[in-house]
Amino acid sequence: MKQIADFRLVEKRDYGRSVLLRIRSVQTLPNIAPGQFVQVRIDGSPTTYLRRPISIHDVDFQRNEITLLVQQVGEGTRHLASANEGDIINIVFPLGNGFTLPETGENILLVGGGIGIAPLYYFAKMLVEKGIRPTLLLGGKTESDLLRLADYQKFGDTFMTTEDGTLGEKGFVTQHSIWQKQSFDKIYVCGPKPMMKAVAKMAAEKDIWCEVSLENLMACGLGACLCCVEDTIDGHVCVCKEGPVFNTRRLKW
């Protein structure tokens, strides 16, 4: 069941352009699937009217905590990043559909680009809990884009690319040598749209099952306003309600 609730910011970690926000509720959390997202109300910013959809980076059900990894891309997210520990963060959650859980024994590749690595953390954690050790391929423009790398590396073999070559192989995730060396049963991708399209194309060529997580501009987050639509084989569908995770076969990419 979806909820609207006040959380308190209990930890804030500064990563330069991005910020990690750990927020706690006094209520017991509902079930939250990896790949779902929250809509954060931005308080006190006169130019920010709507909530901001943010992916769920991690969940701690014992402590009723949700962690968000937020990149400052505009006025709304800049304002959110300026919150202080102790501040109230109001969210509507959990929204959308998460990643499809793979079967035990399948070879899984998680591909993250830039801040798109955020939801893969919670997903990788859940996979490991279920006895599935994923392979991770994380890309960024430069070294400092690959946040919490040591924490991601705990989940499985982790490969990196940077466009400037400061970390891992130089280039895009689609150019990494891993594609020549290993085969995968399922690929899960979150990152900038051009990157997701490129990975989806490769997956299609290799006939590999692939899911991507989209982040179209949203207003309601509930499937009511029909603003965040993506073109699919079933017509225009709401990313917030029918996504944000889509099997690439459904998309008209």
Residues in contact with another protein by the rule CB under 8 A: 1-4, 41, 46-51, 92, 216-231, 235-236, 241
Query: In angstroms, what is the minimal distance from the CB of 14 to another protein?
Result: 26
4 versus 204: smaller Cβ distance to another protein: 4
Query: In angstroms, what is the minimal distance from the CB of 20 to another protein?
Result: 25
Query: In angstroms, what is the minimal distance from the CB of 221 to another protein?
Result: 8
Q: What is the distance between the alpha carbons of residues 120 and 252, in angstroms, rounded to a whole number?
A: 24
DSSP 234: T
Q: How far from each other are the two terminal CA atoms of the chain, in whole angstroms? A: 32
171 versus 223: smaller Cβ distance to another protein: 223
* CA Rg value for the chain: 17
19 versus 220: smaller Cβ distance to another protein: 220
Query: In angstroms, what is the minimal distance from the CB of 163 to another protein?
Result: 21
Could you tell me the CA-to-CA distances from 167 to 71, 137, 193, 199, 242 in Å, in that order? 20, 12, 22, 20, 36
Query: In angstroms, what is the minimal distance from the CB of 157 to another protein?
Result: 36
3 versus 182: smaller Cβ distance to another protein: 3
Collect all residues with Cβ–Cβ distance below 8 Å to 158 and sequence separation of at least 6: 135, 136, 137, 138, 149, 152
Q: What is the distance between the alpha carbons of residues 37 and 92, in angstroms, rounded to a whole number?
A: 9
107 versus 216: smaller Cβ distance to another protein: 216
Q: Are 33 and 119 in contact (CB under 8 A)?
A: no
